[in-house]
Amino acid sequence: MTLAPPSHDRGITTLALDSPANRNALSAALVGELTEALAGCAGDDSVRGVVLTHTGNTFCAGADLTAPPEPAAFTGLMRAILALPKPVVARVTGHVRAGGLGLLGACDISVAGAGSSFALTESRLGLAPAVISLPLLPRIDPRAAARYYLTGERFDAEEAARTGLVSIAAEDVDKALVPVLDGLRRASPQGLAASKELVTASVLESFDQYAEDLIARSAALFASDDAREGMTAFLERRDPSWVL
């Protein structure tokens, strides 16, 4: 299992990515398990909202290069988070890289702790943040997107909040979550579903317009010589050949 058994507390279901050995990387297995768990939450009237969190010091390291999911499957997971008729709240107390930012961008609300860090490292591997652009670009500051897409620089929770990647940067993540989860518990299921539909409508419209093209673009990049060199260098823990 790469996903911990769900826990439930007064209408809130917590799903925890639980593969710390590979830094909760997005393997085909993890994407499948999380997609299935979200479908279960969608059909459960007792679930008012979902908290997506992690074990270990990494929320998600991006794609598992040894057992990656199909781009369409990962894209489907992000869309499932957006289309779920229950709010999804990310609780982040560790590092987030590459595709992990796509998960974060798909969530409705996100709280990140002081020890968390973020980076879009695809360009350093000969790739690009293709499919994760679907939830990210409608949400984050365009100038910040240009900087971090291109440079792969690491940034902290305060910067993530400033750019719109996360909702709240907090010293105490669980304390910051208390009013958020209390608000979800006080809302009606119909009110939550209808309100979420309003705030995700434009993102879902973009998904449906551009997903197929970005999936094809991602597949082409992964099959390229640059990507092979970048991923080999990453696994061998060396600089790729293009580093100056």
Q: Measuring CA to CA, which residue among 131, 188, 119 is closest to residue 160?
A: 119
* Three-state secondary-structure class, residue 93: coil
Sheet with strand 168-170: strands edge to edge: 7-9, 12-17, 49-54, 88-92, 109-113, 168-170
- pLDDT of 68 reads 86
Mean pLDDT of the chain: 96
Q: Please determine, looking at this structure, whether the domain spanning 7-171 carries the CATH number 3.90.226.10.
A: yes
pTM of the model: 0.95
- The rounded distance, in Å, linking the Cα atoms of 227 and 98 is 14
Taking residues 125-139, report their average pLDDT: 96
- The rounded distance, in Å, linking the Cα atoms of 146 and 148 is 6
Judge whether residue 1 has pLDDT over 80. no
For 35-45, write each residue's pLDDT tens digit.
Answer: 999 999 999 99
Tell me the two tokens of residue 19: 């593969």
For 154-201, write each residue's pLDDT tens digit.
Answer: 999 999 999 999 999 999 999 999 999 999 999 999 999 999 999 999
- pLDDT of 66 reads 86
Tell me the two tokens of residue 118: 């973020």
Neighbours of 205 (CB within 10 A): 11
**How distant is the alpha carbon of residue 216 from its chain centre?**
20
Judge whether residue 64 has pLDDT over 80. yes
For 77-90, write each residue's pLDDT tens digit.
Answer: 999 999 999 999 99
Phi, psi for 53 (deg, rounded to 5): -135, -160
Q: Which H or E run contains 151?
A: helix 142-151
Neighbours of 195 (CB within 10 A): 14
Taking residues 96-101, report their average pLDDT: 96
Task: Indicate the pLDDT class of residue 122, thresholds 50, 70 and 90.
Answer: very high
Contact status, residue 213 vs residue 133, Cβ threshold 8 Å? no
Q: Where are the beta strands (DSSP E) in the chain?
A: 7-9, 12-17, 49-54, 58-60, 88-92, 95-97, 109-113, 117-119, 154-156, 168-170
DSSP H helical ranges for 10-86? 28-42, 71-83
Taking residues 4-10, report their average pLDDT: 96
**How distant is the alpha carbon of residue 74 from its chain centre?**
10
Contact status, residue 115 vs residue 94, Cβ threshold 8 Å? yes
Of residues 71 and 175, more confidently modeled: 175
β-strands 12-17, 7-9: how paired? antiparallel
- pLDDT of 108 reads 98
Least reliable range by pLDDT among 63-77, 182-196, 217-231: 63-77
